[in-house]
């Protein structure tokens, strides 16, 4: 039996605040609408390979609690649903279109929250309204999903910065916080104590790539402030906070962790490096295709005769072109895999042009960095 797997990663649908980077909802929904036609020819899985939602940068009221309880996650999900009604109705339409269509959610590092049963229940109920067998139609597969020769995972579990232990990930609670909470990686502290405030002030900055090009376009003063603030934060966390807040497991920051974070500053290299691990995994296992996302870089290539498919991202992003001296909107992309149980029939990376305007280097003022680029 032939099956179609559609693979999407890093959509990052947020709460509609300045930190929400999912701008091209229209383009995304139109793409899914076209794919609904294809889904009618055979059973089809729409595999949402992590960071589908941006719980991480979605506020809870006006704050960003470091301890994410189920209640916090549900409130964030409600805000995301309110901000992106079309996104959710498009998924519901995909499920309605054929009885053999399924949606598979894989956990990424922006949506660890979908591990909570109440979050799963809520998502499932709004996506399967009026449909039979909701549990079969919307699948929560945890950190990875394997279907025959196709293996799918976000990539964050292969990345030292974001890896968590799935078995101990939901902390049972403590004396001072009696509800269970997520044992998030240490970097989330840095995000909520420092980075989120920069992101709120300059939403566009973090969407520009490569980071080296962005850094070269912003003033020295700003750059120095940014780097200094981060380095001081690492030091404070290592020498002070982890001891003064010893009761809090989220504050633990060992020497190996400190080095992990300081290394990119010394090397001035800010790329996520998890693909070596992906290659090792591919070699060790029987999969023919391994599909990842996470680093927002779409690509398809062969290793040892097998395929690595990186499905890129759908959040708003730009890449610097020296020929134009401008940051050009990146192409959106997704994976299109036709397969049988023991055979991959075809495996494609498909691209969709963004509708956003280019950002010329000369126009990249502090004011521009503070804009959200809504069209
Ligand atoms: Mn990610």
What single-letter DSSP state applies at residue 69?
B
Indicate the SS3 state at residue 3. Answer: strand
CA distance 12 to 144: 18
The alpha carbon of 295 and the centre of ligand 1 are apart by a number of angstroms equal to 6
pLDDT in the model for residue 84: 98
The alpha carbon of 292 and the centre of ligand 1 are apart by a number of angstroms equal to 10
Indicate the SS3 state at residue 306. Answer: strand
CA distance 101 to 41: 10
The alpha carbon of 132 and the centre of ligand 1 are apart by a number of angstroms equal to 32
3-185+272-320+328-360 to CATH, choices 1.10.645.10, 3.40.50.300, 1.10.240.10, 3.60.21.10: 3.60.21.10
Look-up of token digits 């009221």? 61
CA distance 62 to 60: 6
The C-alpha angle 181, 295, 254, rounded to 5 degrees, equals: 50
Indicate the SS3 state at residue 357. Answer: coil
The alpha carbon of 313 and the centre of ligand 1 are apart by a number of angstroms equal to 10
The alpha carbon of 231 and the centre of ligand 1 are apart by a number of angstroms equal to 23
Peptide bond into 210 cis (omega under 30): yes
Tally DSSP H helices, then E strands, for the chain.
Answer: 13, 17
CA distance 154 to 274: 10
The alpha carbon of 12 and the centre of ligand 1 are apart by a number of angstroms equal to 9
The alpha carbon of 156 and the centre of ligand 1 are apart by a number of angstroms equal to 6
The alpha carbon of 40 and the centre of ligand 1 are apart by a number of angstroms equal to 30
CA distance readout (Å), 323 to 59, 221, 320, 338: 38, 27, 9, 38
The alpha carbon of 365 and the centre of ligand 1 are apart by a number of angstroms equal to 28
Tell me if 336 sits within 8 A of 4, measured CB to CB: yes
pLDDT in the model for residue 270: 63
The alpha carbon of 11 and the centre of ligand 1 are apart by a number of angstroms equal to 10
pLDDT in the model for residue 52: 98
The alpha carbon of 162 and the centre of ligand 1 are apart by a number of angstroms equal to 8
pLDDT in the model for residue 226: 81
Indicate the SS3 state at residue 238. Answer: helix
The alpha carbon of 371 and the centre of ligand 1 are apart by a number of angstroms equal to 23
The alpha carbon of 163 and the centre of ligand 1 are apart by a number of angstroms equal to 11
The alpha carbon of 354 and the centre of ligand 1 are apart by a number of angstroms equal to 20
User: Can you give the residue ranges of every domain in the chain?
Assistant: 3-185+272-320+328-360
The alpha carbon of 10 and the centre of ligand 1 are apart by a number of angstroms equal to 6
Number of Cβ within 10 Å of residue 135's Cβ equals 10
The alpha carbon of 175 and the centre of ligand 1 are apart by a number of angstroms equal to 32
Q: pLDDT of the chain along its 375 residues, tens only?
A: 999 999 999 999 999 999 999 999 999 999 999 999 999 999 999 999 999 999 999 999 999 999 999 999 999 999 999 999 999 999 999 999 999 999 999 999 999 999 999 999 999 999 999 999 999 999 999 999 999 999 999 999 999 899 999 999 999 999 999 999 999 999 999 999 999 988 998 899 889 998 777 777 677 887 888 888 888 999 999 999 999 999 999 999 999 998 888 887 777 766 667 888 888 888 899 999 999 999 999 999 999 899 999 999 999 999 999 999 999 999 999 999 999 999 999 999 999 999 999 999 888 877 788 877 654
CA distance readout (Å), 55 to 82, 108, 114, 116, 208: 14, 10, 9, 12, 21
The alpha carbon of 352 and the centre of ligand 1 are apart by a number of angstroms equal to 20
Ion ligand 1, residues whose Cβ is below 5 A away:
51, 108-109, 294
């Amino acid at each position: 039996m032939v099956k179609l797997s559609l693979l999407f990663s890093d959509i990052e649908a947020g709460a509609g605040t300045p930190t929400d980077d999912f701008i091209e909802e229209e383009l995304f929904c139109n793409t899914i609408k076209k794919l609904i036609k294809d889904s009618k020819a055979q059973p089809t899985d729409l595999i949402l390979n992590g960071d589908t939602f941006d719980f991480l940068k979605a506020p809870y009221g006006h704050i960003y609690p470091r301890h994410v309880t189920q209640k916090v996650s549900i409130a964030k999900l409600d805000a995301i649903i309110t901000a992106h009604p079309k996104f959710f109705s498009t998924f519901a339409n995909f499920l309605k279109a054929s009885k053999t269509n399924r949606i598979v959610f894989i956990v990424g590092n922006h949506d660890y929250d979908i591990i909570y049963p109440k979050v799963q229940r809520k998502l499932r109920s709004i996506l399967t309204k009026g449909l039979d067998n909701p549990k079969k139609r919307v699948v929560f597969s945890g950190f990875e999903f394997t279907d025959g020769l196709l293996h799918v995972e976000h990539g964050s579990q292969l990345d030292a910065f974001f890896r968590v232990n799935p078995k101990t990930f939901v902390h049972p609670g403590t004396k001072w916080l009696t509800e269970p909470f997520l044992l998030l990686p240490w970097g989330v502290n840095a995000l909520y104590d420092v980075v989120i405030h920069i992101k709120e002030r300059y939403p566009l900055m973090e969407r520009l790539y490569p980071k080296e090009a962005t850094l070269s376009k912003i003033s020295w003063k700003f750059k120095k402030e940014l780097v200094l603030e981060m380095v001081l934060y690492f030091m404070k966390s290592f020498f002070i906070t982890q001891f003064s807040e010893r009761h809090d497991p989220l504050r633990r920051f060992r020497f190996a962790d400190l080095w992990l974070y300081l290394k990119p500053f010394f090397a001035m290299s800010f790329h996520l490096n998890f693909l070596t691990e992906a290659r090792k995994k591919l070699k060790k296992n029987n999969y023919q295709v391994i599909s990842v996302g996470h680093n927002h870089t779409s690509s398809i290539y062969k290793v040892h005769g097998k395929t690595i498919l990186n499905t890129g991202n759908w959040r708003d992003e730009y890449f610097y072109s020296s020929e134009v001296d401008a940051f050009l909107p990146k192409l959106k992309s997704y994976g299109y895999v036709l397969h049988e149980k023991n055979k991959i029939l075809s495996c494609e990376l498909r691209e969709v042009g963004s509708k956003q305007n280019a950002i010329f280097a000369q126009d990249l003022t502090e004011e521009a960095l503070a804009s959200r680029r809504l069209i």
